[in-house]
A = this chain, B = another copy of it.
Amino acid sequence: MTALRNVVPRLEERWALRLEIEEFHVAYAQAIDAGEITRWPDFFTDDALYRVTGRDNADRGLPLGLLYCDGKKMMRDRVQATLRTTTFEPRFLRHYISNLSIDEVRAEGAIKARANYLVVQTLMEEKTELFQAGHYQDTFVRRDGRLLLRERHCVYDSLTIPNALIYPI
């Protein structure tokens, strides 16, 4: 946390930033868990990169992944494709986000942060199960006073079956 203390020396500002990012994570998860995925692209900048990838890929620096969206337009296309897919079973998802770390605040304002996520899934009349365990590698920027994601890499530990990924993580 040395870097953060140097760039954001005042304790009160570090608290405020931490609280703001926590509220961002909560709002993001609420949109997806409520099934309101048309709101999902609103959490990103127009030129944002969104990726869901395995930890092996991420550790080796490979750019590919299970899901890759370069820009908000591609995210909106992805949402529309999801909404047209009426063949999947109804399910409830729930995100548990914890272990937030703010790793860097750059001079130009970009904020690098990480957090752990655990997504559990409930299919109708079935037991709740672990769907995906992993962590976010995020870059936030401020636009009109609110935080937006310029990059979100969802790096999962879990063995993930491509077809199961109906909703964004």
Contacts and interface: CB of A to CB of B under 8 A. Distances in A.
A16 B23 contact: no
A16 B11 contact: yes
A125 B159 contact: yes
A72 B95 CA distance: 32
A100 B99 CA distance: 12
Given A130-B120, A158-B127, A25 B94 contact: no
Contact of A94 (B16, B97, B134): B134
A96 B122 contact: no
A128 B157 contact: yes
Contacts of A95: 99, 116
Contacts of A96: 96, 98-99, 116, 118
Interface in A125-151: 125-130, 132-135
Interface of A: 1, 11, 14-16, 18-19, 23, 25-27, 29-30, 55, 92, 94-101, 114, 116, 118, 120, 122, 124-130, 132-135, 157-159
Given A55-B92, A122-B158, A126-B159, 15 more contacts: A1-B27, A11-B16, A15-B15, A26-B99, A29-B116, A96-B98, A96-B116, A118-B118, A120-B157, A122-B157, A124-B159, A125-B159, A128-B132, A128-B133, A128-B157
5 contacts: A1-B23, A1-B27, A96-B98, A97-B99, A122-B158
